[in-house]
Structure 1
Amino acid sequence: MKKIAIVVIGLVVLASCQEKQRYTQQSPEIDSFKKSIEAYEKADWATMKSFYADTAKIEHNVTKDKAVSIDKLIEVSKEDTKLFSNIDFIDSESEYEMVVTDNGETWVNFWGDWKGTLKATGEEYILPCAITAQFVNGKIVREVGFWNNTKIAMDMQKLSAATTAVDSTTTK
């Protein structure tokens, strides 16, 4: 009986010493993040918002001090859908992972290629991007994303200049 008790205590101690899984490619948080991206692709703003905490801070190509709310992100995304058709992330180029930091924070990392077609010109753009989202109690509380949209900005500037030139020519 003593031997059984010692073995049981040993197993309990051993089990308590094992670390919680800190890296995975399958988790409820990853599933939520995928669904939030699918909602973005479909311009389903209410569903997209449901994955974020009301106090979430979004840092897309900005520093923490310039973070915006989920409502502002949706407002900007709505403007994007006016400019672009076929907004999508290419599934075959998308990767997700979840990590738990040394401080116990849960983050989902995403790498993928965003694709959109500019309605004014029909030109298709593909932008590699990296987005990471911190989850607390199943909701995104902070999201940080990086991508280079310089080509789009330059093309939009050229388009605007060409439109202004045409407008000034026709008014003379």
Structure 2
Amino acid sequence: MRTLAMKILFLCPILALSLNACQQGPVRYTQNSPEIDTVKKVISNYDTKNYDTSMFADTSKTYYNTKDNPLSSNEAIAYHKQADSEYASRGFGDNHQEYEMVVTDEGETWVNCWLTWKGELAANGKEFEVPVHLTFQFVDGKIVQEYGYWDPTPIVLELQKIEAEAKMMDEEQTE
């Protein structure tokens, strides 16, 4: 009987540790969440040129290819509207979209997405595909920060080329 009692005393702590190890803590990584759904809505709104800022906190900051000089949500809309004038069509394709939500060690909630942007210049019909990474920080269900990173170089060079050609044509006509 004493041996049985010692076995039970020995096995109880192991069982308790095993049960404790099986308990899940808070979700720190997921590919399905209300925050991801919000980001998908932001992307859909961009694609349809529905510039709705209701998902953003009043004090949100947006950074595109920089860590300095953030844009307010209204300034970000103005940025997109100005850029839209350069394109016959533009948007994110449905293929190769990846979304994840993470909760950092500090308790911050971020949604990351990797997308492919496609656009056709209005001036000459040239098409571009650009990989884009966006990350959004959420507080109380609202976006408080957005960071966007992509390489605009091919598009900028093409726009400069178009501008130079137009200038040359203007100069030839004035001669």
TM range (shorter): 0.7 to 0.9
In the TM superposition, what is the alpha-carbon distance from 1:144 to its structure 2 partner? Answer: 0.9
Offset from partner CA, 1:88-113 (integer Å, 9 cap, x none): 11111110000000011000000010
Superposed displacement of residue 85, structure 1: 2.4
Is the counterpart of residue 116 in structure 1 residue 119 in structure 2? yes
Task: State how far apart, in whole Å, the 2-side matches of 1:169 and 1:100 are.
Answer: 60
* Equivalent residue number for residue 49 of structure 2: 43
Aligned to 1:72, which of 75, 83, 96?
75
- Establish whether residue 98 from structure 1 lines up as the match of residue 104 from structure 2: no
Secondary structure (helix, strand or coil) at the match of 2:85 reads: helix
Match of 2:62, as an amino acid?
Answer: I
Runs of 4+ residues deviating >4 angstroms = none
For residues 170 and 74 of structure 1, the distance between their equivalents in structure 2, rounded to whole angstroms, comes to 37
Deviation digits for residues 127-161 of structure 1 (CA, Å, limit 9, x no counterpart): 00111000111111001111001000001001101
* Corresponding residue number in structure 2 for 1:89: 92
Aligned equivalent of 2:59, options 55, 58, 62? 55
Higher helix share: 1
Secondary structure at the counterpart of residue 66 of structure 1: coil
Which residue type is aligned with residue 21 of structure 1? V
Q: Matches of 1:124 and 1:95 in 2, distance apart? A: 23
Q: Distance in 2 between matches of 1:148 and 1:109?
A: 17
Distance 1:156 1:60 in 2: 19
Structure 2 CA distance, aligned partners of 1:20 and 1:84?
44
**1:24 counterpart residue number:** 30
Query: Sequence identity, in percent?
Result: 43
In 2: Cα distance, 1:41 partner to 1:171 partner: 41
Question: Partner amino acid for 1:29?
Answer: E
Show structure 2 runs of 5+ residues with no match: 1-15
TM-score (norm 1): 0.87
- The alpha-carbon deviation at position 87 of structure 1 amounts to 1.3
Larger Rg: 2
> What RMSD over aligned residues (CA atoms) do the two structures have, in Å?
1.6
1:23-64: per-residue Cα shift (whole Å, max 9, x none)? 00000000000001100111111x2x111111111111011x
Q: Any stretches of 5+ residues in structure 1 without a counterpart?
A: 1-9
